[in-house]
Structure 1
Amino acid sequence: MSLKELYKGAKLIETIENYALAEDVKSLNEDVLNNERFWFSNDEEFWRNIIADPIKYWNQKIDLYNFVLSNWIARIPGLYWTPSSEQIRQHKNEDVALQSKQWIEFYPPGKSKKVMGGVGTLLLPPTDEGKVLLSVSAGCNASTGIPLLCFPEVYDYLKIKQGDCVMIRAAKWQPMDMHWTSKFASTKDIPRGYLVIDSIDKIQILDRNYPVVYHPFSLMEYEYQDSLFYDFVYVTADSKVKNVDREIEGFFKEYARKEGRHGEYLLNPNIVSPIFQSRYLSPTELTQASEKAKLNLLYERIRGSYFKEQSIEQLMIKLPQYYQSSLSIRTLAKNIGLNVSLLEEGSAINMSSQLIDLCIKKEIVENMIDRIILEYPKIFN
């Protein structure tokens, strides 16, 4: 089993935990004021700047022009634009199941690469106060877009709809209270925020009825060669297609049955109105006491499927090739929250083995893998 499987296992566990907290969209630091103002022309420009210097932009006023609204928001907003994500999305011939001039269908591992690289969207319910989490994208692509928190008085007054082309004026970029961002390095280093649209003067509808591309995704448990596997599945949807929800449902049903997979989807991307049958229909189900034991069992099954001895051995070989000194090993340990005093001084090879052993014992292998992919994306190629 390759090191890619280790990384995939980490992402699968992360996604389940993210999903469980997907409805938590409270904002922080609302009282901090700042008079600076920035203008961005496209998704990439916005995210490259935000990721490069997150502190600079918190509570700053942002202007956007000719961005298109979507009801769907990226699984991890901004993930698509990180350098490591671009590498992860690269697919090989063996990832392709079917291909025509217009489309490509990937096998489950190929789809996982795309989702781990930032493709994938969720449709979230409003908060109790009626605030709605939306996204805007200059490229009409919800997976690459920017989150907006829209207040109900604005949403209702302007009759905001998916496909509206808008101008955003002096909307503050504010932090989300998303607790899962602190656990994984690849999400921790992507600022979790949204542009707050709390008055009608901060958004102007320029035109309506633009097509929007979004990517409902799920996590599939399935059978292959007498073994149980887990992979991400997604489909590209166009908001202008008639009966698009029916088309999405049909794809997921067929894909789960293909090639004798007997697949079951664990998560539903549409939390407002589930599109297809899944084990968990909403994030709240994963936080109920009755489900916690099942969830822990699921974690262990994923760990058992992906964190196997062969992969760990490969990691023990690869790690000292990239972390070649005791200082670099200690820095890695510190970055994943380990007490560096637990490591005995020695060669990079010796200390790498110690670090991996500690992570296994503390069940934080996924944290270590996520940090490594952030620093050295090519290690898992």
Structure 2
Amino acid sequence: MNAFNYYFHQARGDVLNNRVPDIIYEKYKRELVGLGITDMYRVMLEKDISRESVENDYKKYIPKEVLKRHAFFIKRPIHDTLGKLQKSVHDAFYVKEEYIRQLEIIAPEYLSEVYKAVMDDNGAISSVYIKVSPYHPVEPGIKYCLESKKEQWTLKCTIEELGFISIRNDSTTEISRKNGIPFYLKFSSMSTMYSFISLLDGYYRLTCKWIFNICREVYTPSLKKLYAMKCHGPVGGQFSYAKLESKRSNKPGCFIIRESESKYNHYYIDVCMKEGLKPKTFKLERITGDEFIFNDDLTRYKSIQQLMAAYSDPNGAIYLQECLPPSEYDISPLLLCRSERELGVSALDVSIPTSPLCISCKDLQVYKRE
């Protein structure tokens, strides 16, 4: 919820101060007024204040470009529209979602990032702008345009078409694609290069392979810990149960380790039991850098292998024989940016969002030991 609120207020501030290049006033003046009124209604709900009070402070909520051109003609639309909205039954979270949804419609490239670099363009070394725009409605992906020909963008590849990225010490990156020859970008500094790679890596993990870093030299430290534990990310119990059934037919002793969706350094182990088809979930908590406690067992375990050795008796109440590790090819709910055309390749029947989203805390489910 905190992440969503942060994003909402960032977007709201950009709209109010005319910092969204895609929003041209002449084209979207009605939508801009609508966003302002939506924000006023949101404040009424969140702070439980009257419509009259919000209307008196309307200049705080209406985008500055609208006020500059039509300050004397919007009070009546504000009054009438807020009166209608008061009759509806919505909470503040829903109103903020609608605000963001409308912004995405009129400014689909709001979340795009632009970098300046040098690249080989048909044999000539040219200064270019590189745009990472995975949400473009027509041509999502990585684009470039010559500095001398701004706004003439050429698509290089989509996020899904990326193969791997390698770097050199002179701030040059080699970007290999699944199809086509690699292309090279030289940035003005190492920090800019790392920023660019981190952006691509984040989108790649949320689109294609959550457990995989696209650049070997720029890795995610938390992934190294997961690899060492053979641990999945916060995939949730539904995915874990489905994978155990699909890959091992719920064979007793098989289990999956996954991160908690809500608590840092907390994990869950879903174990296939002897007495039933449905796996059972137990808690695993990291108490120090290299030590864990499992379920109600107060023993401190220094590795998953040590834990498995302690529960290796097939006749015991809990039997840990085989840990299913995460796979680069898991199609899990963590792939929040996966496109609709890719959704059909999953072997597991799980529900996957078709666009990036912030998950409300009330929608998270924590699986606990029975």
TM-score by length of 1: 0.26
Find the structure with the greater CA-based Rg.
Answer: 2
TM, length-normalised to structure 2: 0.26
